């Protein structure tokens, strides 16, 4: 019984020591520890109170924290050659980093063999037998360094476009960015958790002269989308070495990763002499702190797996005739965005970009099922390797009940103009399709053959009841050529002998989106949908967001729904490998402004317009040179609850 009690106490003491040290100073082989094996076994270092078991940062295996050699307070283990803080070494003489090394020192041949491994020499057969797993992890550092040198060219970070850096842009202007949780369709959008300022991570230590790639612990100072401003532990209020990185990057790990992966933790050179006992410092700093979930990198990887594959066939809006769809083939998938090539394009240059959750794409046969116009392909047989995308991959729309009171042809409403997304216009329902879909035409600018009608679902956040703009102090674009200004709905309905679509038929749901005016994000320029640009939320009307493209005039702004798959967190382009368009320089803005004043062109029917020109030309023609501005009134709703924002129509 007494022996059992002693063994239990010893086991508890060993386990407590392993947890207390974060794996910093345990032996290479804790299984060989025995109180009767060495006279130095009772000279163990001072123990520190264990951390709460709920924190993942304490559950690490034996891993020595290493530091630069040859400095004051440093020591080199005479057994394994590892370098560390002298006060943390084992025994009174501080000759060994652990109990295991102290007991193994009696064998000079073993010592020589292990040191040979550290120098990159082939080990003896005996050394192979005596080798322990934690030691293998430590010896791997040198091999990792050699591999890093060989692959350095392949692992260079992508150079930001024209030198643009989100970190510098945000820091220099004190901007805030929309949180990742605002973007449910983006990677980690639904499993971001409570990642916030103060969370600790293990990151590469760039303030170090060692040849190997080493790490250190840093805390999040500021979050901007996926990007985090980090500060190494030990710098306190010193921001001189703060740096930005993408928190979903491959070099960002939860605290404890280095210990379990056999990677060395080294304090930055600038502060390496600031503390004599780094272990006690880290214990104090990390007690009660949060870190990333252990499976964070796995979740990132899983959230970036996309069901759409190349060679899948879909139906997508015809960018030259908005009233119809065409068959297109998925050419590439980047971050959930699809490059679709129209099936009849032999050279694959006739393409269209959209997100896989876009309302503009559908499964093969969708157009026929609801009565939508469809352009038949000249290709009568599927090309080899092409196959229809399964219907379940596409975004589902809400079911509607069209049996009772429902939309009818000729009813008036307000709608975002798909050819000029900065404008909400007077519109008419031209055709009622099946499953709740409607064909909408913009009054005063419709083509005679209806080729510019656009398909919106009845639950679409892009259509509004009559009076929406007036009650929310948004400028309503009147029909082109309508002379009776200011525009009044009551007069217009009477003049056109029309009725307004019933308010109750529109989607009035307002989700708790989390956006606020001034937040930065990355947004698709829907007039040139292959481009993702630096952007800002400038107005919020319940679920409707006004997106401004930084560096461009307000004429290029676009109205977008808060759940649009064309909005992304800061850092999305870097994470997915997509090219980000930086804010336009002053010279580009001046030339565009000059050009806009000199030219007035007809409205294009092509959904994909020329970069930053289509919307300006449309606005100039539509307003015929008049200057208008959006009223910044109290209707900008930053609250996310639904409100009574539909105006009551005059009798």
Q: Which of 45-54, 140-149, 239-248 comes out lowest in average pLDDT?
A: 45-54
Mean pLDDT score of the chain: 76
Pairing of strands 373-374, 321-334: parallel
**pLDDT-derived band of residue 569, with 50, 70 and 90 as boundaries?**
very high
* Model confidence at 282: pLDDT above 60: yes
- Look up tokens 């004429």; give the residue: 555
Element (H, E) at 230: strand 227-232
* 8 Å CB contact between 575 and 155: no
Spatial separation of the C-alpha atoms in residues 341 and 346, rounded to whole Å: 9
Helices of type H across 467-511: 468-471, 489-495
Q: Tokens standing for 51? A: 């951390």
Spatial separation of the C-alpha atoms in residues 122 and 138, rounded to whole Å: 16
* 8 Å CB contact between 423 and 619: yes
**pLDDT-derived band of residue 91, with 50, 70 and 90 as boundaries?**
low
* pLDDT (average), residues 241-265: 93
Angle between helices 614-623 and 586-598 (to 10 degrees): 40
Kindly give, in sequence order, each residue whose CB lies less than 8 Å from that of residue 585, ignoring residues fewer than 6 positions away.
551
Higher pLDDT, 390 or 621: 390
The pLDDT tens digits for 170-198 are: 999 999 999 999 999 999 999 998 899 99
Distances 205 to 40, 233, 239, 413, 566 between C-alpha atoms, Å: 34, 11, 15, 59, 36
* Model confidence at 472: pLDDT above 70: yes
pLDDT at 104: 62
Q: Which of 267-281, 373-387, 615-629 comes out lowest in average pLDDT?
A: 615-629
* pLDDT (average), residues 491-498: 96
pLDDT at 450: 87
- Nearest Cα residue to 537 out of 516, 555, 556: 516
Measured at the CA of 372, the angle between CA 371 and CA 373, to 5 degrees, comes to 120
Spatial separation of the C-alpha atoms in residues 234 and 558, rounded to whole Å: 45
Pairing of strands 437-442, 361-362: unpaired
* pLDDT (average), residues 84-96: 66
Q: Tokens standing for 428? A: 């008419």
Dmax over CA atoms of the chain, in Å, equals: 104
pLDDT at 27: 28
The pLDDT tens digits for 353-378 are: 999 999 999 999 999 999 999 998 76
Spatial separation of the C-alpha atoms in residues 354 and 608, rounded to whole Å: 11
Task: Indicate the pTM of the whole model.
Answer: 0.72
**pLDDT-derived band of residue 70, with 50, 70 and 90 as boundaries?**
very low
- Nearest Cα residue to 633 out of 422, 488, 415, 475: 475
pLDDT at 19: 38
pLDDT at 112: 47
- Nearest Cα residue to 352 out of 318, 304, 376, 392: 318
User: Within 10 Å of residue 404's Cβ, how many Cβ atoms?
Assistant: 6
Kindly give, in sequence order, each residue whose CB lies less than 8 Å from that of residue 76, ignoring residues fewer than 6 positions away.
69, 82, 83
- Look up tokens 């803080």; give the residue: 85
Q: Which of 137-141, 288-292, 331-335, 408-412 comes out lowest in average pLDDT?
A: 137-141
* Model confidence at 614: pLDDT above 70: no
């Amino acid at each position: 019984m007494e022996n059992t009690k002693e063994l239990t106490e010893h086991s508890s003491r060993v386990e407590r020591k392993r947890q207390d040290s974060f794996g910093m100073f345990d032996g290479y082989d804790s299984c060989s520890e025995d109180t009767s094996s060495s006279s130095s076994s009772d000279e163990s270092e001072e123990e520190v109170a264990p951390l709460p078991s709920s924190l993942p940062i304490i559950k690490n295996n034996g891993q020595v924290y290493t530091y630069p050699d040859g400095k004051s307070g440093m020591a080199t283990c005479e057994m394994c050659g590892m370098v560390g803080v002298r006060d943390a070494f084992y025994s009174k003489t501080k000759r060994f980093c652990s109990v295991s090394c102290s007991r193994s020192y009696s064998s000079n041949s073993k010592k020589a063999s292990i040191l040979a491994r550290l120098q990159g020499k082939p080990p003896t057969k005996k050394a192979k037998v005596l080798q322990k797993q934690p030691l293998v992890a430590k010896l791997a550092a040198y091999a990792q360094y050699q591999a890093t040198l060989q692959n350095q060219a392949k692992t260079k970070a992508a150079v930001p476009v024209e030198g643009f850096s989100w970190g510098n842009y945000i820091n220099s202007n004190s901007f805030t960015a929309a949180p990742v949780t605002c973007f449910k369709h983006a990677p980690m959008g639904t499993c971001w958790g409570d990642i916030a300022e103060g969370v600790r991570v293990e990151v590469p230590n760039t303030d170090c002269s060692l040849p190997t790639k080493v790490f250190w612990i840093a805390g999040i100072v500021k979050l901007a989308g996926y990007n985090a401003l980090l500060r190494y532990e030990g710098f306190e209020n010193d921001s001189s070495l703060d740096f930005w990185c993408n928190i979903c990057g491959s070099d960002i790990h939860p605290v404890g990763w280095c210990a379990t992966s056999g990677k060395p933790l080294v304090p930055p050179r600038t502060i390496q002499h600031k503390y004599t006992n780094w272990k006690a410092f880290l214990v104090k700093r990390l007690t009660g702190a949060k870190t990333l979930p252990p499976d964070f990198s796995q979740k990132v990887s899983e959230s970036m797996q996309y069901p759409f594959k190349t060679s899948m066939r879909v139906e997508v809006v015809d960018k030259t005739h908005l009233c119809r769809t065409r068959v297109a083939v998925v050419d590439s998938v980047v971050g959930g965005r699809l490059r679709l090539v129209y099936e009849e394009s032999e050279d694959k240059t006739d393409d269209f970009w959209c997100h896989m959750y876009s309302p503009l794409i559908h499964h093969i046969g969708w157009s026929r099922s609801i009565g939508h116009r469809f352009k038949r392909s000249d290709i009568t047989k599927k090309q080899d390797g092409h196959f229809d995308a399964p219907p379940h991959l596409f975004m589902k729309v809400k079911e509607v009940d069209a049996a009772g009171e429902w939309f009818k042809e000729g009813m008036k409403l307000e709608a975002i103009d798909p050819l000029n997304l900065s404008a909400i216009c007077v519109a008419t329902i031209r055709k009622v399709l099946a499953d709740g879909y409607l064909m909408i035409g913009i009054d005063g600018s419709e083509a005679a053959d209806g080729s510019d009608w656009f398909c919106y679902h009845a639950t679409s956040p892009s259509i509004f009841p009559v009076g929406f703009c007036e009650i929310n102090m948004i400028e309503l674009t009147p029909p082109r050529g309508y002379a009776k200004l200011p525009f009044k709905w009551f007069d217009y309905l009477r003049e056109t002998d029309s009725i307004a679509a019933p308010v109750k038929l529109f989607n009035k749901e307002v989700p708790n989106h989390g956006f606020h005016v001034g937040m930065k994000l990355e947004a698709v320029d829907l007039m040139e949908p292959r481009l993702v640009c630096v952007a800002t939320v400038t107005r919020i009307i319940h679920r409707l967001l006004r997106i401004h493209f930084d560096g461009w005039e307000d004429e290029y702004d676009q109205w977008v729904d808060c759940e649009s798959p064309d909005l992304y967190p800061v850092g999305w382009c870097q994470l997915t490998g997509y090219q980000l368009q930086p804010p336009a320089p002053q010279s580009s803005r001046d030339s565009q402004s000059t050009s806009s004043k000199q030219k007035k062109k007809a409205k294009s029917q092509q959904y994909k317009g020329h970069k930053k020109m289509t919307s300006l030309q449309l606005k100039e023609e539509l307003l015929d040179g008049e200057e208008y501005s959006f009223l910044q009134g109290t209707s900008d709703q930053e609250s996310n609850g639904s409100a009574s924002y539909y105006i009551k129509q005059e009798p």
